Amino acid sequence: VPLLELDDVSFAYPDGTEVLRGVSLTVPAGSRVALVGPSGAGKSTVLALVEGFYPLSGGTIRWAGTDVRELPRAALRAQLGYVEQEAPVLAGTVRENLLLAAPHAADDELWAVLADVGLTGVVQRSPRGLDVPVGDEGVLLSGGERQRLAIARSLLARPALLLLDEPTASLDARNEGLLRETLAAAAADRALLVVAHRLSTVLDSDQIVVLDAGRVVARGTHGELVGTS
Ligand code: ADP
Ligand code: ADP
């Protein structure tokens, strides 16, 4: 039984905008699935539905085989690490941002997760270490670093499934490379469902699902999709 399964999911926003039509996909435990496609295809909406922001118009979402409508929403959310697009980093320090997700985490654990996302350099550059400020005037974190901090925060909660919405949207090539390494580290012991509009970000996914105008138009590994395997 896959960890997450979307079975023939259709969805229209409350204003009537029909966005998804018959979308099916599975995320097996421990796997990396990427959702790619043009802007407006419905990718972010898929993540919002998994998070339970809106009821489906049709179809079923299952978590470990159980229809999510039968699961307490809080119990499901506790298993999900949702990092929205332009993930907000809160005013305060790196430490405070991380402790939001894991109030009792020890410094060792905070440093370990910062290493996973490639942020230890930033913290070490400042004499304030984990207490380096992130949200104020004179912020020393770049856009890419803020994104990685948000991912670090969600990793600390040890979700079974990480849902990442366009984690590289605002990143340059160097930071995109760093983020790919972050995702590989994050995927070591959890499943990942990643939204991207650039295929380059998600080349090494176990499965790439291509969405266009609310429908799945292709799926496979990168090699299968470009016809080289
Ligand atoms: P993608 O992530 O692939 O760019 P989205 O899921 O954000 O696509 O959006 C899919 C479609 O749904 C777009 O046409 C968008 O304008 C529309 N849409 C997104 N959010 C809302 C909303 N809250 N209400 C109505 N329509 C929306
Ligand atoms: P990115 O390409 O990720 O947006 P930037 O070019 O903004 O990165 O920043 C590159 C590096 O310089 C980052 O490590 C960032 O922390 C650091 N940095 C950015 N602004 C400042 C600053 N005003 N003072 C010191 N370091 C900075």
What does pTM read for this prediction? 0.83
Task: Determine if ligand 1 sits within 6 Å of the CB of residue 18.
Answer: no
Task: Determine if ligand 2 sits within 6 Å of the CB of residue 199.
Answer: no
User: Helical H runs in 3-119?
Assistant: 43-51, 73-77, 94-99, 107-116
| Sheet containing 207-212: order of strands | 80-83, 161-165, 191-196, 32-36, 207-212, 215-220
8 A C-beta contact, residue 165 and residue 34: no
The total of other beta-carbon atoms located within 10 Å of residue 172's CB is 11
> How far out from the chain centre does Cα 208 lie?
14
Give the C-alpha separation, 152 to 101, whole Å. 9
Measured from the CA of 170, which atom of ligand 2 is nearest? 4
* Contacts (Cβ under 8 Å, ≥6 apart) of 140: 122, 125, 126, 132, 133, 134
What's residue 138's pLDDT?
Answer: 43
- Picking from 76-85, 147-156, 171-180, 219-228, which range would have the lowest pLDDT averaged per residue? 171-180
* Contacts (Cβ under 8 Å, ≥6 apart) of 104: none
Q: If you average pLDDT over every residue of the chain, what do you get?
A: 88
Task: Determine if ligand 2 sits within 6 Å of the CB of residue 177.
Answer: no
Instruction: Note the pLDDT tens digit of each residue in 79-90.
Output: 999 988 777 788
Cα of 144 to ligand 2 centre, how many Å? 9
Mutate to test the pocket of ligand 2, among 145, 147, 148, 178 (most ligand atoms within 8 A of CB): 145
CA Rg, the chain, in Å? 18
State ipTM.
0.70
Residue nearest (by alpha carbon) to ligand 1 atom 16: 40
| Sheet containing 58-63: order of strands | 18-27, 4-12, 58-63, 66-67
Considering every ligand atom shown, identify the ligand nearest to the alpha carbon of residue 178 and give its number: 2
Note the residue count of the chain: 229
25: tokens are: 């996909």
**Angle, CA of 37, 223 and 170, to the nearest 5°:** 40
Cα of 141 to ligand 2 centre, how many Å? 6
Across-strand partners of 32?
A: 192
Instruction: Note the pLDDT tens digit of each residue in 134-162.
Output: 865 445 677 778 888 888 998 898 899 99
Give the C-alpha separation, 188 to 210, whole Å. 24
Percent of the chain scoring above 90 in pLDDT: 55
Cα of 154 to ligand 2 centre, how many Å? 23
Residue nearest (by alpha carbon) to ligand 2 atom 23: 140
Across-strand partners of 215?
A: 212
